[in-house]
Amino acid sequence: MVSVPTIQFRPVELPPSGTLVVFAGDGMALGEAARRADAASDGFISAAAEAQGFKAKRFGTLLVPLPRGLSVRSLLIVGLGDAAKLTEAEWAKLGGTVAGALPSGPDTDVTVFAEAPDGPLTAEQAADIALGIVLRSYTFNLYKQKSADEPEPAPRAITLAVPSPAAAEARWQAMDAVAAGTMVARDLVNEPANVLGPVEFAERAASLAELGVEITVMEPAELEALEMRMLLGVAQGSERPARVVLMQWKGGGTQKPVALVGKGVVFDTGGISIKPAGGMEDMKGDMGGAAAVVGAMTAIAKRKAKANVIGIIGLVENMPDGKAQRPGDIVKSKSGQTVEIINTDAEGRLVLGDLLTYTIERFEPAVTIDLCTLTGAIIVALGHYHAGMYATDDTVAAQLSAAGMATGDQVWRMPLGKDYDGLIDSKVADMKNTGGRSAGSITAAQFLKRFVGESNWAHIDLAGTAMGGPTNEISRTFGSGWGVRLLDRFIADNYEG
Catalytic residues: 275, 349
Out of Zn ion, Mn ion, ligand BES, none, which partner does residue 343 contact, by CB within 5 to 8 A per kind? ligand BES
DSSP letter assigned to residue 36: H
Closest to Mn ion by CB, 325 vs 455, is 325
Residues 275-294 that bind ligand BES (CB under 6 A): 286
280: left (phi over 0), alpha (psi -120 to 50) or beta: alpha
Per-residue contact string for residues 5-44; x = within reach of ligand BES by CB under 6 A: ----------------------------------------
Which residue, 267 or 495, is less far from ligand BES as judged by CB?
A: 267
Neighbouring residues of 89: CB distance < 8 A, sequence distance ≥ 6: 405, 406, 407, 408
- Should residue 370 be labelled a site residue for Mn ion when binding is judged by CB under 5 A? no
Alpha helix ranges (H) inside 237-320: 288-302
* 320 sits near ligand BES (criterion: CB under 6 A): no
Residues 345-404 that bind Zn ion (CB under 5 A): 348
Pick what 376 binds: Zn ion, ligand BES, Mn ion, none; C-beta below 5 to 8 Å, kind-dependent: ligand BES
Q: Rounded to the nearest 5 degrees, what angle is found at the Cα of 472, between the Cα atoms of 299 and 88?
A: 55
Q: How far is the CB of 147 from ligand BES (least distance, A)?
A: 33
| Residue 377 sits in the site that holds ligand BES (CB under 6 A) | yes
Tell me if residue 479 falls in helix, strand or coil: strand
Decide if residue 354 touches Mn ion (CB under 5 A).
Answer: no
Of the candidates 61, 139, 343, 392, which one interacts with ligand BES according to CB under 6 A?
343
Indicate which single residue of 115, 191, 268, 354 sits in contact with Mn ion (rule: CB under 5 A): 268
| 317 bridge partner residues | 267
| Residue least distant from Mn ion (Cβ) | 345
- Sign of the alpha-carbon dihedral angle for 295, 298, 299, 301: positive
Determine phi and psi for 132, rounding to 5 degrees.
-60, -40
Best CA proximity match to 163, nearest among 13, 15, 38, 16: 13
Contact 291, 189 (CB under 8 A): yes
Q: For residue 364, which amino acid is it?
A: E
> For the window 421-460, what string marks contact with ligand BES as x by the rule CB under 6 A?
-------------x-----x--------------------
Round to whole Å and give the CA distance between 261 and 352. 8
Choose from ligand BES, Mn ion, Zn ion, none: what does 434 bind? Cβ within 5-8 Å by kind.
ligand BES
Residue 90 near Mn ion by CB under 5 A? no
- Closest to 319 in 3D by CA, of 283, 355, 366, 358: 283
Among 38, 115, 176, 345, binds Mn ion (CB under 5 A): 345
Least distance (Å) from ligand BES to the CB of residue 487? 19
CA–CA gap between residue 493 and residue 39 (Å, rounded): 43
* Alpha-carbon gap, residue 40 to 70, rounded angstroms: 8
- DSSP 8-state assignment for residue 121: P
Q: Give the count of residues interacting with Mn ion (CB under 5 A).
A: 3
Q: Which of residues 66-105 bind Zn ion (CB under 5 A)?
A: none
- Cβ nearer to ligand BES, comparing 260 with 466: 466
CA 444-423-447 angle, 5° bins: 30
Among 125, 359, 375, 477, binds ligand BES (CB under 6 A): 375
Query: Can you tell me whether residue 240 is helix, strand or coil?
Result: coil
Backbone phi, psi, residue 204, to 5°: -65, -40
Binding flag, residue 463, ligand BES (CB under 6 A): yes
> What angle (nearest 5°) sits at the alpha carbon of residue 433, between those of residues 432 and 438?
100
Among 268, 317, 409, 473, binds Zn ion (CB under 5 A): 268
Contact between residue 78 and residue 24 where contact means Cβ atoms under 8 Å apart: yes
**Binding at 375: pick from ligand BES, Zn ion, Mn ion, none (beta carbon under 5-8 Å per type):** ligand BES
Query: Which part of the chain contacts ligand BES (CB under 6 A), choosing from 11-19, 294-302, 339-347, 396-404?
Result: 339-347
317 binds Mn ion (CB under 5 A): no
Cα of first residue to Cα of last residue in the chain, in angstroms, is 33
Distance between CA atoms of residues 135 and 82, nearest Å: 24
Binding test (CB under 6 A) with ligand BES, winner from 348, 353, 365, 404: 348
- Shortest spacing between CB 346 and Mn ion, in angstroms: 6
When asked if residue 345 is in the footprint of ligand BES (CB under 6 A), the reply is yes
Pick the closer one to Mn ion by CB: 268 or 409. Answer: 268
**Interface stretch with ligand BES, choices 304-312, 372-380, 382-390, 403-411 (CB under 6 A):** 372-380
Edge-to-edge strand list for the sheet holding 214-218? 214-218, 243-250, 308-318, 258-268, 367-372, 457-461, 387-391, 411-413
The answer to whether 235 and 319 have CB atoms below 8 angstroms apart is no
Q: Position 229: which residue type?
A: R
Q: Which stretch binds ligand BES (CB under 6 A): 151-159, 176-184, 290-298, 374-382?
A: 374-382
The answer for 234, left when phi > 0, alpha when psi is -120 to 50, beta otherwise, is alpha
- Out of 176, 286, 317, 354, the residue judged to bind Zn ion by CB under 5 A: 286
23: nearest Cα among 103, 106, 108, 84: 84
Q: Which residues bind Mn ion (CB under 5 A)?
A: 268, 345, 347
Q: Which residues bind Zn ion (CB under 5 A)?
A: 265, 268, 286, 348
Q: Which residues bind ligand BES (CB under 6 A)?
A: 268, 286, 343, 345-348, 373-377, 434, 440, 463
